[in-house]
Structures are given as structure tokens and as C-alpha cells.
Structure 1
Amino acid sequence: MLPVFLPHACLDLPHGNAPGQLLPLTPREAKARAQLRALRDRALAEGAQVLILLWPGATWTLLAVEPPADVAVCDALELVPNLQANPEALEQMHQRAAAGDHLVWLVLQRPAATLH
């Protein structure tokens, strides 16, 4: 089961009653969103690429991905094919999100070179 991959900037979309805005947030939702933004900002400050994964059934995951040091990633969406290539990891994230664990930090590493 594949999620919808969203850029982390969707956390910055405006809420309100004006046309084109998302529905207003309750005070509790606004506080939770501010906390989620703080976690996202911390991950970005530590050099991670951040995505939001939306799963069928309205569960979600805030995913921070730390690519190898020698890999330049300009946009976190560039990592989506790599994530889709690992369905086991995605399923594990989905199960964790369904259980209430919505934060995942992945550290990507290159496989060790083998000598022949």
C-alpha cells in the first residue's frame, strides 16, 4: 500500500475562512500543528529531507530522511523512488502510523563495497 508523498511545506498552508484556505483549526489542532512544524524545522536544521506521507484511512507519517553525505538532494521528493523501492520499510511506517507513532527518521547508507 503506497502513501501519497507530500512536501513538508504543506504544513505552512494557511487556515481560515477565506476562499482557497483550508478549514480553520481548533486550538488543539493549531497547537499540534505548531509542534509538528517545530519537529520538521529541527529535522531540516539537522540536514534531513522531510516528507509527509498520507496513508489510506487518514493516517500519516512525518518522515525525515538523512541521505548519505556524498549525495546531494535538492528536494525531498527526489527520494520518493528510493522509498517506493522498499515496500517493507513503507509497510513498517504504515503500521507504526496506525499504532500512533507518526514520526520516522531514516538514515540512508550506501551498501559496503564487496571485494572479489
Structure 2
Amino acid sequence: MEPLQLIVQQGKSVLECTKDLKRIAHKKGKDRSKVFERFTANKHSVQVYTNIDASIRENNHVQNFLQKLQSFSNEFEPARYDFEGEVNVSQVEELYPQVIEAYNAMVTELGQSSEVVNFKYFK
């Protein structure tokens, strides 16, 4: 599989995790931790795949998507090692559409506009 297809495929996987995390952000405990762990693994895969090809790695839209994912991830930092850690749910809800928008801009810029996701589906 080409690096571009890997990034798009993994990008969708991380969006699914992002959606699940947004839905469960207000909950505490093991379930949220499991979803965050899956999100982190998928985010890491996206980061690895972007490093395969320098032109992809240096693309501003790719970098913006990675930054939005990191900002979203940072909101779950209190829960990373503490099942009961407090997450700023309103900030998660504010960042969530930014992640989707960044993904859509990235895939469009990379010539994969057929991979744009419908925000309503990811609500």
C-alpha cells in the first residue's frame, strides 16, 4: 500500500477513535482509558506513516492535521495515567470539529477528495 493510502486509511481510523473519545470524554474509568489507548495507537500510526514520504511529511495540511490531533489528545492527558482524571469536555467538543476539518483539508490537498468525511456522520 502506498504511503498516501496508508495515511488516509489510518486517518479515518483515528477519526473513529476521536469520535468515540468525544462521546465518552465525560465518563471516568477503564472504558475511557481503553478508547484513549486505541486513539493513541492510531494517532501514532498516522505520525509514522507521514514520515515515510518527505513530501507528505512537509505538507502544511498534514502538519495541521497532526497538530489538531495532538491538541485533542492533550485534553485527555489528565486521564492518561489516572482512570479518574478530569477531562475538559467542553474543550474536547470545541476541538473535535477542528480535527475533522483538518482531516478533510488534508485529504483534499493530497488529491484524495473522495475520502472527505461527512461531519454529520462523525457527530
Please report the TM-score for the alignment, with normalisation by the length of structure 1: 0.28
Higher helix share: 2
Q: Larger relative contact order (C-alpha < 8 A, sep ≥ 6)?
A: 2
* Structure with greater Cα Rg: 1
User: More strand by proportion, 1 or 2?
Assistant: 1
> TM-score w.r.t. structure 2 length?
0.27
